C-alpha cells in the first residue's frame, strides 16, 4: 500500500517497480492512495502518461485513513503487509524522489512478504 502526497514522475518510477513484482506474483495486491491534496485528475494524468497497472485512488479523508496515522511530513509512505495482515516493512520518505531511489528495496520487501 502506497500513500502519496504528490503524483509525479518519481512516484511513477516507484509504482512501476512494484508493478513488475505484481506481474509475476498474483498474490500481491498493491494500490496507491493519494492524500493531502492529490486529486483524481493528478492520477489520471499519471496513468495516461505512464500506463501503470497498479490501481490509483484518492482517500476520502485528505490526511488518509485515520487508523494509519500517516506522518504529515512524509510525502510517501509505503506499508508492505505479509499474508494475514501483519506489517512486514514500512517506509517513509520526505519526497517522491527519495521514494523512487528506494524503489528496488521496496520491490524486494514486497517479494519477501510473499514468502
Q: Which domains does the chain have, with CATH numbers?
A: 2-113 (3.40.30.10)
- Return the number of other C-beta atoms located less than 10 Å from residue 103's C-beta: 19
Mean pLDDT, 10 residues at a time, the chain of 115 residues: 96 91 80 94 95 92 88 94 89 96 93 86
- Looking at the DSSP bridge assignments, the partners of residue 90 are 79
Alpha-carbon span 84 to 97, nearest angstrom? 31
Alpha-carbon span 90 to 70, nearest angstrom? 11
Structure pTM? Answer: 0.91
Amino acid at each position: 500500500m502506497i500513500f502519496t502526497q504528490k503524483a509525479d514522475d518519481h512516484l511513477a518510477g516507484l509504482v512501476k517497480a512494484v508493478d513488475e513484482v505484481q506481474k509475476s506474483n498474483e498474490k500481491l495486491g498493491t494500490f496507491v492512495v493519494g492524500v493531502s491534496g492529490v486529486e483524481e485528475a493528478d492520477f489520471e494524468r499519471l496513468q495516461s502518461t505512464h500506463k501503470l497497472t497498479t490501481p490509483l485512488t484518492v482517500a476520502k479523508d485528505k490526511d488518509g485513513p485515520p487508523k494509519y496515522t500517516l506522518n504529515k511530513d512524509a510525502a510517501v509512505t509505503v506499508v508492505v503487509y505479509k499474508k494475514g495482515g501483519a506489517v512486514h516493512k514500512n517506509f517513509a520518505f520526505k519526497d517522491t524522489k527519495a521514494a523512487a531511489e528506494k524503489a528496488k528495496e521496496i520491490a524486494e520487501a514486497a517479494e519477501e512478504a510473499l514468502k
